[in-house]
Structure 1
Amino acid sequence: MNTQIREGAYDVVVIGGGAAGLSAALILGRSRRSVLVVDAGEPRNAPAAHMQGYPSRDGMPPGEFLAVVREEVAAYGVEVVRGEVTAAEPDGSGEFDVALADGGRVHARRLVVATGLVDELPGIPGVAERWGNDVIHCPFCHGWEVRDQPIGVLYEKASGTHQALLFSALSDDVTLFLDDAGEDELPDDDWQLLAAAGVSVVRGKIAGLVVTDDALSGVRLADGRVLARSVFVVPTRMVVRDTLLTGLGVRLRETPAGPFAEVDPTGLTSVPGVWAVGNATGPAEQVVNSASAGYRAGSTLHAQLLHADLAREAERRRAGVFSPEGERAVARARARRIPA
């Protein structure tokens, strides 16, 4: 990946080089668009050893996956550089001036923001050190790999007992840790579901995790008890990287995980010319979903730019202004016309 960003103008600047951003860049590059991808190199799934649920790439290390896609987009002339975008400002004509952390500036006709989010972890001692290993958060991302193991789940009011119930389909030994929550916080229906799923419930403040031979071996409570667990599931506080989007005035929508950019099915935000894809638009966008969103944004963007260019050329012709390029295009179109 390059570290030098050349100044210039691009059809599209993609901000964020994860699955969503690179997917948009791939489609745009294949459509012969000039594209710059600015990647800060901070993917959400970097702590994970493998990614799951992506057909043909199930179990592939995230870093390896991104390296392969960067090579693919480069083959279509897409520029991918390591850097950070500090600001994006409308230029008054429907296009954008983009400022970079190294002091450089580039111009973009359109923007794709794929800056993702950051998972903030609970402050329980040991959680951060084991994150992405035997401390996890998603049954669909990591559940198969921890099947049949003793699993602990940290209770959170927002998600309730949902995670514990999901993990009960993967192991017969699941324990829900209430931590600071009181048992009276759980509705009666939840107690019934936990019982039906065979999930145990432990009351008491958690003091930290116990690690033996570089592997999680238990959860220690403040009263000294240690409950043997080899996997610990924690909720995260999802903090979206939306500074650029909010700076542009993009409208947000409320979700159970907080506000995210409001987009249409193609990723277009409330600001014309600005698309948002991946976890910038919601907490549940896994790698495969993000790649799909990038594809839709890229194809829509190319079509929009093409029609804008053609409409401008047609208007010039109606005004009696003929460019050599336009005349050659008309000649080619006439030559391909099928006689009635």
Structure 2
Amino acid sequence: MPESKHFDVIIIGGSYAGLSAAMALGRSLRNVLIIDSGLPCNRQTPHSHNFITQDGAPPEVIAEKARAQVLNYDTVKLHNDLAVSGTKTENGFAITTGSGVIFHAKKLIFATGIKDLMPGIKGFAACWGISVIHCPYCHGYEFRGQPTGILANGDRAFHIASLVNNLSNDITILTSGKAGFTEAQRTKLHKHSIRIIETPVTGIEHGNGHLKNVVFDDGSRMHFTAVYAVIPFTQHSDIPVSLGCELTEQGYIKTDSFQKTTVEGIFACGDNTSPMRSVANAVSAGNFAGAMANMELTNEQF
């Protein structure tokens, strides 16, 4: 546990965005505490892609290397714990952890990510991040030319289909109910030989997370190698909202172009602020959030 309980900045979340923010601050000699629970949302994903210099590396390998580099900066500390609550104080903020320790900081950066809400489909959670996937840029190349499903409906399904169409000529949209496409969308899907199945999906047959068949409620099965899925999410931490940070209509933490939230002194970065869920985007946003927090501290002290 860190000896001091007072810091310039507390970063909640120690994955790519949080570590990137910490590096920017550590290089400016800011006293920084990273609080991390050790449960990243991509912990089931076997390989990370679309991030130069690290393409194909396991996510945890990237994170371990990042932690080691960030903690080389003497003013950056890591506390393995869960942040459970936060309050405003006269000089900034106080964060209480699950073990009951209270830390103080002038600024906060939330890099807490989001929590995916798994549907009641047998086998879905076991395949999530392995063969049931969310992003063509992160995973699509590895499943190129393979039988591909899209578990979504309406505009979201149509959007994914347009992206995946360049990766496979065997695509089926699984709407799990009445399809919600416009006539223009249906015409374009038909033009590209993209099938639509409305029968509800009830299960996924797999081997160690690697998809074999999708099971429908009429007992039929269909083989896929990969299924893209659009599922709801919630913020992984409720502390930002409890401190007054506004959310967007989609449920992300609202930030401006400087990664500032709607509460003075609080920044946010990574998956909790953007639908672009990638390592590259998280690193970029975290680096910028750290720099902007440092700029605020500089303006207040200089």
Which band: TM-score by shorter chain?
over 0.9
Q: Does 1:87 align with 2:82?
A: no
Q: Which amino acid aligns with 1:63?
A: E
Does the C-alpha gap of structure 1 residues 178 and 230 become closer, same or farther in structure 2, counting only changes over 3 Å? Answer: same
- For residues 154-197 of structure 1, the C-alpha deviation after alignment (integer angstroms, 9 at most, x for no partner) is 133461322223212101111112322x24x3211111111222
- Structure 1 position 41 matched with structure 2 position 38: yes
What residue is the counterpart of 2:223 in the other structure?
228
**Aligned partners of 2:22 and 2:14: how far apart in 1?**
9
| Cα distance change, pair 68–194 in 1 and its aligned pair in 2 (3 A) | same
Task: Check 1:76–1:143 CA distance in 2 against 1; reply closer, same or farther (3 A cut).
Answer: same
Q: How far apart, CA to CA, are the structure 2 residues paired with 1:206 and 1:98?
A: 42
Consecutive unaligned residues of structure 2, counting only runs of 5 or more, are none
Matched with 1:284 is 276
Query: Does the Cα contact within 8 Å between 2:112 and 2:272 map onto a contact in 1?
Result: yes
User: What does residue 71 of structure 2 align with?
Assistant: 74
Q: Distance in 2 between matches of 1:275 and 1:241?
A: 16
**Cα separation, 1, equivalents of 2:31 and 2:280:** 25
Structure 1 stretches of at least 4 aligned residues deviating more than 3 Å after TM superposition: 211-215
Q: Is the 8 A contact 1:111 1:275 kept in 2?
A: yes
Counterpart of 2:146 in structure 1: which amino acid? Answer: Q
Q: Pick the aligned partner of 2:10 from 3, 10, 13.
A: 13
Amino acid at match of 2:270: G
Counterpart of 2:59 in structure 1: which amino acid? P
Q: TM-score scaled by structure 1?
A: 0.83
Map of 1:211 onto structure 2: 206
Distance across 2 between alignment mates of 1:82 and 1:113: 15
Structure 2 residue matching 1:111: 3-state secondary structure:
strand
Is the Cα contact below 8 Å between 1:7 and 1:104 reproduced in 2?
Answer: no
Mapped partners of 1:295, 1:230: distance in 2:
36
Report the Cα offset of residue 298 of structure 1.
1.2
Q: Which has the higher helix share?
A: 1
Query: What is the aligned partner in structure 1 of residue 251 from structure 2?
Result: 259
Shift of 1:212: 6.1
Which structure's relative contact order is higher, taking Cα pairs within 8 Å and 6+ residues apart? 2
RMSD: 1.8
Q: Deviations over 1:121-172 (max 9, x none)?
A: 2222121122222211211111001001111111334613222232121011
Q: Give the residue type in structure 2 aligned to 1:279.
A: D
Q: Report the count of equivalent residues.
A: 301
Contact 1:240-1:279 at 8 Å conserved across structures: no
CA–CA distance in structure 2, aligned partners of residues 223 and 97 of structure 1: 54
1:301 aligns with 2:279: no
**More displaced 10-residue stretch of structure 1: 41-50 or 19-28:** 41-50
Aligned mates of 2:285, 2:166 — CA distance in 1: 29
Tell me, what secondary structure is at the counterpart of 1:72? helix
For structure 1, the residue ranges without an aligned partner over 5 or more in a row are: 311-340
Partners of 1:300 and 1:212 lie apart in 2 by 45
Q: Is the 8 A contact 2:234 2:251 kept in 1?
A: no
* CA drift at 1:199: 0.9
Q: Give the one of 16, 22, 26 matched to 1:25.
A: 22
Q: Which residue of 2 aligns with 1:115?
A: 112
In structure 2, what is the Cα distance between the partners aligned to 1:231 and 1:97?
A: 44
Q: Greater Rg, structure 1 or structure 2?
A: 1
Q: Choose the corresponding residue for 1:104, options 101, 104, 115.
A: 101
Q: In the alignment, which of 35, 42, 65 is matched to residue 62 of structure 2?
A: 65
Counting aligned pairs with the same residue, the percent is 31
> Deviations along 1:4-54, whole A, 9 cap, x unmatched?
344421111111001111111001101111111000112121111111111
Pair 1:156-2:153 in alignment: yes
